[in-house]
Chain A
Amino acid sequence: RKEVEQDPGPFNVPEGATVAFNCTYSNSASQSFFWYRQDCRKEPKLLMSVYSSGNEDGRFTAQLNRASQYISLLIRDSKLSDSATYLCVGRDNYGQNFVFGPGTRLSVLP
């Protein structure tokens, strides 16, 4: 079993839609979590960190449930520019090991 698993997608949604991505992790040593976005043929870029209390950044909301080892990302009012692959990432307690999920591809359609 992979340490970080994500919905494979692709998710094809119309502009303005709300879309949710799910991620599960199997390594309980993972302590820090992040969502990255990766545009085609570009490097991954940090979208947001994920905190236990949940956090929001504009149209983006991230949630972490440590008991269920589950992370989510909610995008409201989708824009065409949100089209990308979204990567779920965990980092262990010692800060020495990042584990990337395989990514979920999102296409926002006009």
Chain B
Amino acid sequence: NAGVTQTPKFQVLKTGQSMTLQCAQDMNHEYMSWYRQDPGMGLRLIHYSVGAGITDQGEVPNGYNVSRSTTEDFPLRLLSAAPSQTSVYFCASSGTGGYGYTFGSGTRLTVV
């Protein structure tokens, strides 16, 4: 049971490039989210999804798109990378009800 898998683990982008961070879970969780965490800071919610075909914005959605075509996958797309998007990105999933999140191991993104 792999849990939540994020790829890549590390990425360096040039300003203006686009890329997709992948997230997959094999626990049949309905709820998935993307967070970013800047050095020494807390988690900030980017986008979330309560099920396949349903997504919504979190606290800091600008510059990011998401889609949820299947229950398992929740990719995060950076449209035009900016240095301010340098951060660690965590994907997380949860079942419905009173369950906690399971996090992926994160993607460390640097935009130069």
Tell me, yes or no, whether A binds B: yes
Binding site for B on A (CB under 8 A): 31-32, 34, 36, 41-46, 49, 87, 89, 91, 95-96, 98, 100-103
Residues of A within 8 A of B98 (CB): 31-32, 49, 91, 95
| B68-91 interface code vs A (CB 8 A; 1 in, 0 out) | 000000000000000000001010
How distant is A35 from chain B, measured CB to nearest CB, in Å?
9
Inter-chain contact B105/A95, CB cutoff 8 Å? no
Query: Can you sample 27 A-B contacts with CB below 8 Å?
Result: A31-B98, A32-B97, A36-B101, A43-B90, A43-B103, A43-B106, A44-B43, A44-B90, A45-B103, A46-B100, A46-B101, A49-B98, A49-B100, A87-B43, A89-B101, A91-B100, A95-B31, A95-B96, A95-B97, A95-B98, A96-B31, A96-B50, A98-B101, A100-B43, A102-B41, A102-B42, A103-B42
Q: Which B residues have a C-beta under 8 Å from some C-beta of A?
A: 31, 33, 41-43, 48, 50, 88, 90, 94, 96-106
Closest to B50 in A: A96
Set of chain B residues within 8 Å of A87, measured between Cβ atoms = 42-43
The A interface is mostly helix, strand or loop, or mixed, namely strand
- Chain A residues with CB under 8 Å of B48's CB are 96
Q: How far is the CB of B87 from chain A (nearest CB, A)?
A: 12
Q: Compute how far the CA of A71 lies from the CA of B49 in the bound complex, rounded to whole angstroms.
A: 27
B101 to nearest A CB, angstroms? 6
Residue among B90, B97, B98 facing the most chain A CB atoms (10 A cut-off): B98
Chain A: which residue is nearest B39 at the CB level?
A41
A-B contacts besides A43-B103, A91-B100, 9 pairs, CB < 8 Å: A31-B98, A32-B98, A36-B101, A41-B88, A49-B98, A87-B43, A91-B98, A95-B97, A96-B48
The complex places the Cα of A98 from the Cα of B100 at a distance, in Å, of 9
Query: Complex formed: what's the CA distance from A91 to B100 in Å?
Result: 8
Give the most central of A89, A96, A98: most B CB within 10 Å.
A98
Q: Which residues of A contact B41 (CB under 8 A)?
A: 102
Lowest 6 A-B CB distances belong to which pairs? A43-B103, A32-B98, A102-B42, A34-B100, A46-B100, A95-B96
